Amino acid sequence: MSIAPFTIHITPETLADLQERLARTRWTDEVAGAGWEYGTNLAYLKELLDYWQHHFDWRAQERALNAFSHFRARVDGFGLHFIHERGKGEHPLPLVLLHGWPSSFWQMLPIIPLLTDPASHGGDETDSFDVIIPSLPGYGFSDRPGEKGMGLGRVADLLAKLLIEGLGYERFALRASDLGAGVSQQLALTQAQRLIGLHQSGTNSFIGQIPDNLSRAEQEFIANAERWNQQEMAYAMQHFSKPQTLAYSLNDSPAGLAAWIVEKFRAWSDCAGDIEKRFGKDDLLTNLTIYWATQTINSSMRLYYEMVRNPGSWGRVEVPTAMLMSPKDMFPTPREWVERSSNVQRWTEISSGGHFLEWEEPERVAEDLRAFFRPFRQTQ
């Protein structure tokens, strides 16, 4: 396995092409007074793309990104991008942070200093972590899989080899949500002896077989999941079934890409309908520019397709698990439901935040991570 430092650099030609496409956007119509009811709001998208074209400074964002330690590894012939930031103090705990869709490694950057240097952010240096943030295969600056079969189990295998053989971590901790949580579940089943603990957030609308002995809270959860699937799951069904068809337009049009992604950040965050209460334009556009410049919208959506056809391992997760649950992440999940499939040892409900907690509430996430993993440090 080879690992080499990596510097992010998007070519001037790619940025110039983006500018030209933004200038040539052919806008669709909109029903009067539609707001966001029919999907991404026309007025907001015009405002965002005007900023992208005339005010957004990618080079400034690129410099900020490159302030972190980036690497690329060849694992079984596949290229994986990751950030590796060493913790301060003695014996920092290795912690892997896994993103999902439509996010990227960019989601995790606000929390890095809180974890690597807690003493400078109101914590104790004995709670420090070595932070490893991979770009999932098909995302960001990792390779785009060109063959069938890159499901969650295969992704987990690649990450395990990177951590164990490439970085030399005998044991490690995990924090994940969204598709990253699916990968973490695979690691918890196949690398249980390596995994110190699993810290997760979020709900899951994929219910599977419904037990007979549901609590009242679980019955409400099932009803909410079925309602959410009917109203909000169209995007995922497209990803699951025909991602290639959708990808042509999103890879060709920055307006289309922005519309497909930004609507999810508004819908899944704790923003009360105003997306910029949680995410500034520079944040949204940095994430979008990563997708655009790397041409990974197709490969990122394809992970959904591969996930349902290559589901990986199944079983109860016995690794010690913590759940950090926010009020605006799709719909509430009761503890007893998660305990049916996981060894839940810590359950924390917070009063704010949505689906992108490392972005929305980094201090709360860091605080819960420190508290959960503190007892495990003594045994490492």
Q: Mind telling me the catalytic residues?
A: 178, 304, 355
Taking the alpha carbons at both ends of the chain, their separation in whole angstroms is 26
How would you list the strands of the sheet with 78-85, edge to edge? 2-5, 70-75, 78-85, 129-134, 93-98, 172-176, 195-201, 317-325, 342-349
Angle at 178 between CA 370 and CA 133, to 5 degrees: 55
Measured CA distances, 155 to 3, 88, 205 (Å): 18, 29, 21
Taking each helix axis from N to C end, the angle separating 281-294 and 254-268, rounded to the nearest 10 degrees, works out to 130
Let me know: does 199 contact 345? Beta carbons within 8 Å: no
Distance CA 21, CA 18 (A): 5
Let me know: does 22 contact 49? Beta carbons within 8 Å: yes
Whose CA is closest to 338, among 349, 351, 354, 352? 349
